[in-house]
Structure 1
Amino acid sequence: MKIKNLIAATYAPMHKDQSLNLQVISSYNAFLKTNKVTGAFVNGSTGDFASLSVEERKQIITEWSKHRSDNFVLINHVGHTSLKVAKDLAAHSADKVDAIATLSPFYFKPPTLESLVYYCAEIAKSAPDLPFYYYHIPVLTGADFKMIDFLPMAIDKIPNFAGLKFTKNDLIDYNYCLNYNNKESNVLFGVDEILLSSLPLGATGWVGSTYNQMAPLYYKIIEAFKAGNMELASELQRKAALFVDILNAKGGFNGVAKGFMKTLGVDCGPSRYPHATLSDADYKIIQKELDAVGYKGLLSKN
């Protein structure tokens, strides 16, 4: 089964003291479903996995697993700079999720594609009954290989290989991967700001952080594209990118966007260093800026 539609990269909800607030996950899950988001990508970059302990990552996915359903896909990112830890996280996920994913080690980076495929294969076999995805995000990992070269090697070496989370602004490589071997692999596009550009290439599945805040906007982009209204689709995509710019200018997108969830009815709490945590007054200013440029009806609703 191929994963399709919008998958939200979720935040790690926290109390004011920055301890985990697992109780929020139930309402968070309901919020995403209300906005027709079809799954959650947990413990990824948006979820600040690098700022969490191994035990915290396990607690988060255990809580999310309580809310699995037939119409909501749960993917757990298990990557770590330690292969041993990543394998442990994969094994822990085996009975809790629909798929696992890993990005590349990002301190000591794999020097070759063969090394990267080995790392992925070792993790994948720790949960052999789960579909395995490689999370390609070279802007953060520094592992900048062409995925069209990675795919045939991964398919050959990883029996449960399912596809990619492709988070790079390289539409040529993405298109090659999407169509490789008669579209055998599930290639999920991961650059929210250019979702529209993926549609003519045949994209059907996306993973991103702004699907938390703006799922209605992105579904309107898809609808406008299918209807042939490229002017509307382009204008909506511009607004999606502008949303990121507005929040990013207030102290960095990741932390500011996490705090913005409270204005939508899901209080995910503060962010851990180095991400910023703003005040309620700051978010009132942000909301006014968004209202001024026409986001009414485009933001997710509780």
Structure 2
Amino acid sequence: MNLEGTHVAMITPFNNDNTINEEKYREFIDFLIEGGVDGILAAGTTGESATLTLEEHQKVIDIMVDQANGRVTTIAGAGSNATSEALDLVNYSKDAGADVALVITPYYNKPQQSGLYNHFKLLNDQCDMPIIAYNVPSRTGVDLSVDNIINLAKLDNIVAIKEANPDLNKLAHVFSRLNSENLLDDFTVLSGNDSLTLPMISQGSKGVISVVANIMPNKTSTMVNNALNGNYDEARTLSNELFNLMDVLFIEASPAPTKRALNLMSMDVGGLRMPINEICDENEVILKEILKENNLI
């Protein structure tokens, strides 16, 4: 499976009553695909997975697979802090026809490194589906060690990692080990932080699972493709142009700024599920200024 390029951690559009807006979700998927992205992710953090019911979680995966219709890679968010629930979600994702499952490291219960490995090992052994491990210590309270990442790379069904630990020195150790153990051809590292996508690609990453691509899919994809093709001058220019937008999308709890930006762009993606609030007035002023700078409003 080729996971290179730009994959979008999609928002989940809601109706006024906070139910899933299927029509708008399908329109949004088309907007992203027409913008040139290589893949889309349903029910990730940006998709408010934490406040989706199980039935809603399954529904957004079904909509994604159906609407994409083979045009791009489909990634199903399938993580949980209970291994048994993650197992069920990965199996559901396979049956739904998704190409790959994204599984976050278990959060809140803070398992030890052996527990993290055994969590993914069980999914590897019991699910006949490619899996991307998702490491985001700022949200989960645990960080996959370099040794653990290498051990996961040796498992047949763990095909990639979305690395959202911003420590580039750690990443350098990961690539050194992947290279020395001849694992680079079979294991993909994807950036989990938009602002670090370019430096991560220079180290050996093959792309990004992106938030900013919700807003500017074409420019994000162009930046990533230039970097992957070795056109670093052009990629650097585009990354710098996107930086303020990347940054402001995390000025408050995600995905509040992203959804507000899309609504300001007349995309009508609806509100947020509690406990996430709309961004404050002061930050909306900043957001609007950056959207105007990018000719989005």
Question: What's the TM-score bracket when you normalise by the shorter of the two chains?
Answer: 0.7 to 0.9
Partner residue, 1:270: 271
Partner residue, 1:166: 163
- Closer, same or farther in 2 for the Cα pair 1:65/1:204, shift >3 Å? same
Matched residue of 1:162: which SS?
Answer: strand
- Closer, same or farther in 2 for the Cα pair 1:236/1:62, shift >3 Å? same
Shift of 1:126: 4.2
Which whole-Å CA distance do the structure 1 matches of 2:235 and 2:284 have between them? 27
Shift of 1:85: 1.6
Q: Which runs of 5+ in 2 are unaligned?
A: none
Partner residue, 1:102: 103
Partner residue, 2:24: 24
1:178-232 per-residue CA deviation (whole Å, 9 max, x = no partner) reads 4503313111111101222123223322111111112333345346654452xx6
Shift of 1:106: 1.0
1:220-252 per-residue CA deviation (whole Å, 9 max, x = no partner) reads 5346654452xx654543443322444544x54
**Residue identity in the other structure for 2:151:** M
Matched residue of 2:55: which SS?
Answer: helix
Partner residue, 1:153: 151
Which whole-Å CA distance do the structure 1 matches of 2:156 and 2:232 have between them? 40
Matched residue of 2:156: which SS?
Answer: coil
The TM-score normalised by the length of structure 1 is 0.84
Partner residue, 2:188: 186
Shift of 1:64: 1.1
Matched residue of 1:90: which SS?
Answer: helix
Matched residue of 1:75: which SS?
Answer: strand
Shift of 1:143: 0.9
Which whole-Å CA distance do the structure 1 matches of 2:222 and 2:75 have between them? 25
Q: How many residues align?
A: 288
- Closer, same or farther in 2 for the Cα pair 1:167/1:46, shift >3 Å? same
Mapped contact 2:8–2:211 kept (Cα < 8 A): yes
Matched residue of 2:134: which SS?
Answer: strand
CA RMSD of aligned residues (A): 2.7
The TM-score normalised by the length of structure 2 is 0.86
1:69-119 per-residue CA deviation (whole Å, 9 max, x = no partner) reads 4440011121112222211111111122001121111111112x2211111
Report percent identity of matched pairs. 22
**Residue identity in the other structure for 1:46:** T
Partner residue, 1:90: 90
Q: Which runs of 5+ in 1 are unaligned?
A: none
2:243 is aligned, of 241, 244, 247, to 241
- Closer, same or farther in 2 for the Cα pair 1:151/1:8, shift >3 Å? same
Which whole-Å CA distance do the structure 1 matches of 2:156 and 2:198 have between them? 32
